[in-house]
Structure 1
Amino acid sequence: MPTWQELVADKQQRQKAAIPKEWLITLPPGSQLDVTNVPRTCGLLSSEELEITETKDVAILLDKLASGAWSSVDVTRAYYKRAIVAQQVTNCLTEIFVERALARAAECDKYLKENGKPIGPLHGLPISLKDQVCLKGLETTMGYVSWIGEYAERDATLAVILYEAGAVPFVRTNVPQTLMWPETFNNVFGRTVNPHNRNLTCGGSSGGEGALIGMKGSPLGVGSDIGGSIRIPSAFNGLYGLRPSYNRIPYAGSRNSMEGQDSVPSVLGPISNSLSGLRVFMKAVIGLKPWTKDPLAIRKTWDEESYQLKEHGDGKDLCFAILWDNGVTIPTPPIRRALEMTKKALEAQGIKSGNVGVVDWPAFDYGDLCLTLGQIWASGSQGDYAATVAKTGEPIIQTMALDGVSSGNEWSSGAALESQSAYGLWQIQKKRAQIRKVHLDLWESTGSLTGTGRPVDAIIAPVSPSASAPHGMNRDANYTMAWNGLDYPACVFPVSKVDPTLDVKQPRDKFLSPTDEFIYNLYDPEVWKNAPTSLQLVGRTQEDEAVLAMTEIVDKALKA
């Protein structure tokens, strides 16, 4: 059997050979940190292809595809070229299958011409997929050398549904080995960097999606989220991303870490440059009844009344709560400013219309909740990783640092926690259920704060204490993990960018935790200059439609 290094060399060579030579560009110097403008300046894309890929609103793209104003072949080729540019400057892709995607796009064009109507709600739209969602005939390594050479015998359930909806899956995107990192690096494809600042991480584990869509190399992508893996890359790349409720989107047939761990399940969800992209994805997938194809998918149709905010005063009388900090880390100045900007925008909206209120979210022990999640994962994760790499002997990655030397201050995905017996795990899961009940009671009690006669409609919170982080330094995922533990849907929205003149480091002599002190000491506004700042809007279990609608209201207020 070849060594794991030989397997990697062969895989990387095959990936390079899949890129059309005429799509290779003259690379910008390594010193150029912001590469988001490279697709516009490299000369590869025509003016029409730039117009297509600069159309951020997915609803507009779909209208043009459904009407035949733009062909799926042209749109797919434009995004493919831009995705290949993104690959050359951020290393965001895994599987590249140009001819296969263009053939699918041609099928969509043919169907529209012959039938006078689109195949479905995602007709002709190129969609990128995290390197978990299996496509028949392609490898899905998920960052593991041991899975090189394993070709899928069938499409994942979500891929089947996307095809039925008329979509064109066209690339797959990079992930960290094991998926259980808020950064993106593995032994097969290497490191993915942030296109806004290549010295910063793109986030993880859906980091390839974040970097690709951040480069406008895909209009709509699929990520997964067990502790923040959709929301962290969305936030770090200035995108919209939805972490749906458990089992709302079908997972069957997709690869994963820790399969069988179903106390805190991973969920699949959309990432896009537009909120319309998230909405059309959810409506399209749910509309094709995923529960008929995946036994774990919840039997729940798209709830239009929830989207119209029937249980939230019909959207005319809302009260949002701001989570200023989670008791574990204090947000750095750019994130604090994003919270203040959002509060100010909502209050201005409320003054105009009289229908938006803002209050402070009460204190809660989110650190204990997140520790409980770490204990659940640790109960079997190390055994899972070891079993997976045993085939080739590839090392399990212990650090995301550039030099491969751990700082001792990075995410460990539960590695430092003890594994548990089945009985021990049951006790941890029991504790988590108790925490969920306490948090539910807390939310219900906020009816005394709102003045609407209802509890708080949604929470607005940081996604991370900082706007991205240098490679190997993304230490804290507590702001996202909490909502996985509670199974609250959460939608990320961009707010601003780091400005060293506005986001000055403030002196502090007291810290909430060692992690809080580490993040404070790490922050330097010049290092983070121009990095996107984002927040998340959090709703209650199975309120995915309402979360999307309320995020649209907040986003509109910010843009106003």
Structure 2
Amino acid sequence: MSAAAKQHWSEIVKEKKIRQAATIPKEWILTNLPPKDALNVIDFPKKSGLLSEKENEITNTEVGTLLQNLASGAWSAVEVTTAFSKRAIIAHQLVNCLTEIFIERALARAAQLDEHLKTTGKVVGPLHGLPISLKDQVNVEGLESTMGYVSWIGQYATKNSVLADVLEASGAVLYWPETFNHVFGRTLNPYNRALTSGGSSGGEGALVALRGSPIGVGSDIGGSIRIPSAFNGLYGLRPSYHRVPYAGCVNSLEGQEAVPSVLGPISNSLSGIKSFMQSVAAQSPWLKDPMAIRKPWNEAEYRLSDHGEGKTPLCFAMLWHDEVVLPHPPVMRALERTKEALIRAGHQVIDWKPLNHVEIYKNVSTIWTAAAAEDYRIVTAPTGEPIIGSMALTPGELVQSATIIPSDPPGFRPSAEGMSAYELWQVHKKRRELRQAYMDHWNATVSQTGTGRPVDAIISPCAPYTAPPHGLNRNANYTGIWNALDYTALVIPTGLSVDPAIDVKKPAHSFFSETDKSIYELYDPETFKDAPITVQLIGRTLEEEAVIAMGEVVDAALKASASSASANL
């Protein structure tokens, strides 16, 4: 047994937190933080006094313009990295969103990039000088990736993950942030600190929302990029399996490859999402990760070559609900606003009929949980740390227990018993049949669109609610469905937020299920006040380019609608 293993797990955590605190520059520690009962802190960084006027300008600039200014030398990489590092530290003091903090290392890298541009007149790559934060899974040589496991404290990466190498080769400056775990505690939502930032890439969501990072990298097996993006009012892309390299990262449930986790970007702008995907593809990750798909960025697909070349109106299908849970009033308002905006922009919107969603939820849950309990037990055994309640209990136990540690669980739980390999194969076979049926269902919409094509994309809720109170994020079906089908999915902010005067509670409807009833009862307009409202755009497998392009269409329509509404006030 190692020396660390002889310590109580809480002592290991205490030492880790001391080491983490020591990495924060003392001159950046604020004494004028808002009181804890101040819930909405989204605007505090710019008035904190720590950022100069120029640093505020830099951190409020969208990725496309940031890259232009870095490439031209208008802003140095050191200036940009310093500005975002300061703002990240402010964000951390507000909502507890960082894990590993390595500012000196990031600034040294930025200085090298500045020198390269000065001496050669050329950028290192398309992301030259851009700070990118990474979820605590993406290994960077010499740093710890704990994923919140106490047992992984002290395990330092001996080399970069493939994605870290790919981003550095593109000129990015890597620096790091995570939602709730024994090591780092809980991350809060900057729009309302009584609400969750989402999981499990919630640190990225909160950090990017507070503009402490222009692009964050999250992971998504059931919604862990999209839920934090949705709850923090951001753009977030869930690519299809293996489009972004995963090799060299740490993960739970390793070896489960039927519905794998994927890496993808979270950003304040669609230009950030597009720049990330273009840059990763340009580095030929399939030559570095044997699982990565050999697919360079396809400009024709971005120009909507499979969707009328962008010369004809698009047809979107609106998934109002999944026939399992009816979304809360703010979510329904956002869907209505999106439909109206698209029709006003000249596009068509039809209704999407969900197909076999309950079967798909059960199928993918069985796959995820086939050996999850054993996986968690093995990983936590060396230190004896308790398994977080939401990882260990069934939904019924979770609701009834008052002693578990609250967390941000996805909509699935590890089963108490595993299953034989043969039984799991039958589950995989059923999933293939379900995917085939869903493809056929999509293709059949050609008879409804009038474009000569099936629907171009689906628009759906990201969750049945906006960001809920801590510990109550218990349904990931609206995101997990697309993981099961391996459809590319993009979160788009609507510009709306929960307004108790508008988003009043509706009378009780005829409930689909007990889950539907419990989620209906969860809603109180004042509780959800100021939470951002987003929608989700879904394309087919490996349609990242087209989904980004159609996302730009939806985004533009929403912004034009908001502008028109403001003009009429």
TM-score (norm 2): 0.94
The answer to whether structure 1 residue 122 and structure 2 residue 117 are counterparts is no
Is the 1:380–1:419 Cα contact (8 Å) retained in structure 2? yes
- Tell me which residue corresponds to 2:53: 47
The answer to whether structure 1 residue 109 and structure 2 residue 104 are counterparts is no
Q: Unaligned 5+ residue runs, structure 2?
A: 1-5, 392-397, 561-569
Distance 1:161 1:42 in 2: 35
The answer to whether structure 1 residue 341 and structure 2 residue 316 are counterparts is no
How far the C-alpha of 1:415 sits from its partner, in A, is 2.3
The answer to whether structure 1 residue 6 and structure 2 residue 36 are counterparts is no
Moved more, 494-503 or 439-448: 494-503
The answer to whether structure 1 residue 216 and structure 2 residue 211 are counterparts is yes
Distance 1:21 1:72 in 2: 23
**Superimposed CA distance per residue, residues 307-349 of structure 1 (whole angstroms, 9 cap, x where no aligned partner):** 0001100112210000000111101000000000000000000
Structure 2 residue corresponding to 1:63, chosen from 44, 63, 68: 68
How far the C-alpha of 1:486 sits from its partner, in A, is 0.3
Is the 1:375–1:418 Cα contact (8 Å) retained in structure 2? no
The answer to whether structure 1 residue 80 and structure 2 residue 75 are counterparts is no
The answer to whether structure 1 residue 329 and structure 2 residue 325 are counterparts is yes
SS at match of 1:12: helix
SS at match of 2:193: strand
* Aligned residues: CA RMSD: 1.5
Map 1:418-437 onto structure 2 (within 5 A): 418-437=417-436
Map 1:249-268 onto structure 2 (within 5 A): 249-268=244-263
Structure 2 residue corresponding to 1:30, chosen from 33, 36, 42: 36
- Tell me which residue corresponds to 1:177: none
Distance 1:213 1:196 in 2: 12
Distance 2:299 2:390 in 1: 45
Distance 2:406 2:114 in 1: 52
Provide closer, same or farther for how the CA distance between residues 548 and 104 of structure 1 changes in structure 2, counting only shifts above 3 A: same
Distance 1:106 1:520 in 2: 53
**Superimposed CA distance per residue, residues 229-275 of structure 1 (whole angstroms, 9 cap, x where no aligned partner):** 00000000000000001000000000011111000010000000000
Distance 1:407 1:202 in 2: 14
Structure 1 residue corresponding to 2:266, chosen from 263, 271, 275: 271
Is the 2:139–2:157 Cα contact (8 Å) retained in structure 1? yes
Map 1:200-215 onto structure 2 (within 5 A): 200-215=195-210
Is the 2:187–2:202 Cα contact (8 Å) retained in structure 1? yes
Is the 2:253–2:372 Cα contact (8 Å) retained in structure 1? yes
SS at match of 2:20: helix
Provide closer, same or farther for how the CA distance between residues 23 and 409 of structure 1 changes in structure 2, counting only shifts above 3 A: closer
Amino acid at match of 1:387: I
How many residues are paired up?
Answer: 544
Is the 1:234–1:492 Cα contact (8 Å) retained in structure 2? yes
SS at match of 2:253: coil
Amino acid at match of 1:102: L
**Superimposed CA distance per residue, residues 437-484 of structure 1 (whole angstroms, 9 cap, x where no aligned partner):** 000000000001100011000000000010011111111100000000
Amino acid at match of 1:141: T
**Superimposed CA distance per residue, residues 271-330 of structure 1 (whole angstroms, 9 cap, x where no aligned partner):** 000000000000000011000000000011111111000110011221000000011110
How far the C-alpha of 1:405 sits from its partner, in A, is 3.8
Is the 1:409–1:518 Cα contact (8 Å) retained in structure 2? no
Distance 1:193 1:207 in 2: 8
Amino acid at match of 1:226: I
Distance 1:7 1:307 in 2: 48
SS at match of 2:195: strand
Provide closer, same or farther for how the CA distance between residues 119 and 411 of structure 1 changes in structure 2, counting only shifts above 3 A: closer
Provide closer, same or farther for how the CA distance between residues 409 and 21 of structure 1 changes in structure 2, counting only shifts above 3 A: closer
Distance 2:114 2:83 in 1: 15
Distance 1:163 1:363 in 2: 42
Distance 2:406 2:25 in 1: 40
Amino acid at match of 2:14: A
Map 1:137-148 onto structure 2 (within 5 A): 137-148=142-153
Distance 2:254 2:91 in 1: 31
The answer to whether structure 1 residue 508 and structure 2 residue 514 are counterparts is no
Map 1:489-528 onto structure 2 (within 5 A): 489-495=488-494, 496-528=496-528
Is the 2:373–2:416 Cα contact (8 Å) retained in structure 1? no
The answer to whether structure 1 residue 239 and structure 2 residue 234 are counterparts is yes
Q: Unaligned 5+ residue runs, structure 1?
A: 175-183, 351-355
How far the C-alpha of 1:11 sits from its partner, in A, is 0.2
Distance 1:536 1:445 in 2: 22
- Tell me which residue corresponds to 2:389: 398
- Tell me which residue corresponds to 2:549: 549
- Tell me which residue corresponds to 2:443: 444
Is the 1:378–1:418 Cα contact (8 Å) retained in structure 2? no
Structure 2 residue corresponding to 1:193, chosen from 188, 196, 214: 188
How far the C-alpha of 1:192 sits from its partner, in A, is 0.4
SS at match of 2:501: coil
Is the 1:108–1:124 Cα contact (8 Å) retained in structure 2? yes
Map 1:359-370 onto structure 2 (within 5 A): 359-370=350-361
Is the 1:236–1:531 Cα contact (8 Å) retained in structure 2? yes
